[in-house]
Amino acid sequence: MAYKWSDDLLTGNMQIDNEHKELIKAINDLLDACSKGKGRTELERTVKFLSSYTKTHFAHEEALQIKYNYPDYNNHKKYHKYFVEQVENIHKKLLAEGSNIVLVGEINNKVGNWIINHIKREDVKVAQHIKSKLK
């Protein structure tokens, strides 16, 4: 299953939205590599890219939160840390086991669905906060 970008994922912050689009594409590329039985090189490439892009995006988002004094920064940072751990866990399992149906399920639940919910519940609040500070 591929994740589709839709406008209900827009936070209204252009930088954050563009990075979210890239993140969803990275998740789809990984799922694609897993489900289409692509080789190990492609599995490793896609999971590594997802892992590094996640860290880049979270660092940007956290820097914006500090810059604009986001009141829920500490919790938000914890959510990000949790997600990074999930991706690293999946990375390790992929290296050890290769792709399998259980892992594809984990990628959907712990990565794809998680990020969609996080964007809608948390990142939207961050973008609104930044917008309110810019007025």
Cα–Cα dist 27/6, whole Å: 15
Cα–Cα dist 96/61, whole Å: 32
Q: What is the DSSP letter of 108?
A: I
> Minimal distance in Å, beta carbon 122 to Fe ion?
5
Binding range to Fe ion, per CB under 5 A, among 39-47, 48-56, 106-114, 117-125: 117-125
Q: By CB under 5 A, is residue 123 in contact with Fe ion?
A: yes
The DSSP annotation for 20-41 comes to HHHHHHHHHHHHHHHHTT--HH
CA distances 115 to 10, 24, 40, 43, 87, Å, are 13, 8, 25, 20, 11
- In the complex with Fe ion, the residue whose CB is nearer, 43 or 119, is 119
> Minimal distance in Å, beta carbon 97 to Fe ion?
29
Q: By CB under 5 A, is residue 17 in contact with Fe ion?
A: no
Binding range to Fe ion, per CB under 5 A, among 42-50, 59-67, 90-98, 127-135: 59-67
Binding range to Fe ion, per CB under 5 A, among 25-33, 34-42, 98-106, 118-126: 118-126
Question: Which residues contact Fe ion by CB under 5 A?
Answer: 61, 123
